[in-house]
Structure 1
Amino acid sequence: MTRGVLLDLAGVIYDGDAAIPGGVDAVARLRRAGLTVRFVSNTTRSSKQTVVERLAAIGLPVAGADVFTPAHAAREWLLRNNRAPYLLVHPSLAPDFRGLPDRGRRAVVVGDAGDAFTYAALNEASRELGKGAELLALATNRMFRDADGELSLDAGPFVAALEFASGNHATLVGKPAPEFFRSALASMGCAPDEAVMVGDDAEADVAGALRAGLSGALLVRTGKYRPGDETRFDPRPTSTVADLAAAADWIITHRDSVSGHRQPS
């Protein structure tokens, strides 16, 4: 039986600063049905506080504890492993790393740095890795839907470049790392096989959630979705639906019978 729902944000609930039609109401319907909802985003260009404020601006006020981002996961990793961050991230993400102890041992933290991905910045990060720093990837997404509606390079290609140059293997803290999904599920006391994921990324959101043991994962045809995405990665989506409103309908209808098998789209 489904007790909890994990929702991606960009491309599922909002697109830029605008709500995707029907998304806010869909969240309300899931909650009225008695389902606990958490928001799991792979954004590495917005701080957690910015994400919370963006949701409030579209009519969906949420508590910070209900939002899970790779930067938050990275901060926890750095504290657990006694590492200081060397940041190669977007400037807007820096607030999520303030106040960390300045330790001698370092970890290069890579997110979608945007225009900050200069040769000099990548070269300096590579040198830090050569001095013994660990490599921490906030996300390894290949592409994201940019403000102009087109797909742009995400953090993944730059993480791969640093792995190739340094010979280091990155530790991934965002989706599709199983620990990222499980952290959100633990916050609501929900076992993986009692939860369903909804996302627009067939690789990070859908296949990642199913590998983490979730009972189902729905792919929406909004955001970065492109025709054919539902067959590009394994495991494939439990179902592919038009948008979050349709996903909410599907989850409520199937809440007693989801078992991880694929359903007709």
Structure 2
Amino acid sequence: MRFLRETGLIFWSQLRTNLRNPTWVMIGLSQPVLYLVLFGPLFKGIAPAGTDPWKVLTPALVIMTGMTGALYAGFAIVVEVRSGVVERQRVTPADRGALLLGRVLKDMSVLIVQALVLVGVAVLAFGLRPAPLGLVLSVLLIAVMAAGLASASYALGLWAKAEGTLASVLNSVTLPVMLLSGILLPMSVGPTWLRDLAKANPFSYTVDAARALFRGDYGVADVYIGSGVTAVLAVLLMVIGARSFARENA
């Protein structure tokens, strides 16, 4: 009970910061919406035959939003370290896992709001008709993915303690990870060696699972494999993040 209370306190503290300045949430959403508007018509020409291109592109853009938002969450912890927020939390008896989980839940909440706005634009402007249950499950799956990535980003932020160092690490990782996940371009059009690299990218399985759920194909192997890989990776990254938080606050 104490752990849940402390997690809730951190969550509301972090969420209030976002609510006081919601502009950054909308800025994070602007790029996927532009991709939807500008890249969507082009995507029709490369989407697999017999499929609705918006059901392929929209969940991918939600994943892109989750990836970028979660991976760059570490910049907030760098600011908090510099301003003494983490130091003040360190002297409290709060559970170190709660200090991480409260922040991660805030990031998941922001992603869910952004995802619903993005899907709403696709529904209203382009006639997207996702499977209702599949929409809910795919957004939850992507939120789990974001939880793991945000945890890793917070760990990196605590390690780096400087925006420049953190930016160098993230910029060298983010683009290859996204491209090799097949978010915008199907890996089937690439050479064999590129397809093999994509298979080694765990987030490619998240993309396949989210797209299958979006279509309402709940029983296909992509859903089970992608959900399992995503959950295992998220737990692993959250454990690493929690340990890093505990180390930095010991």
Give the TM-score of the pair, scaled to structure 1.
0.24
The structure in which a higher percent of residues are strand is 1
The structure in which a higher percent of residues are helix is 2
Specify which structure has the bigger relative contact order, considering alpha-carbon pairs within 8 angstroms and separated by 6 or more residues: 2
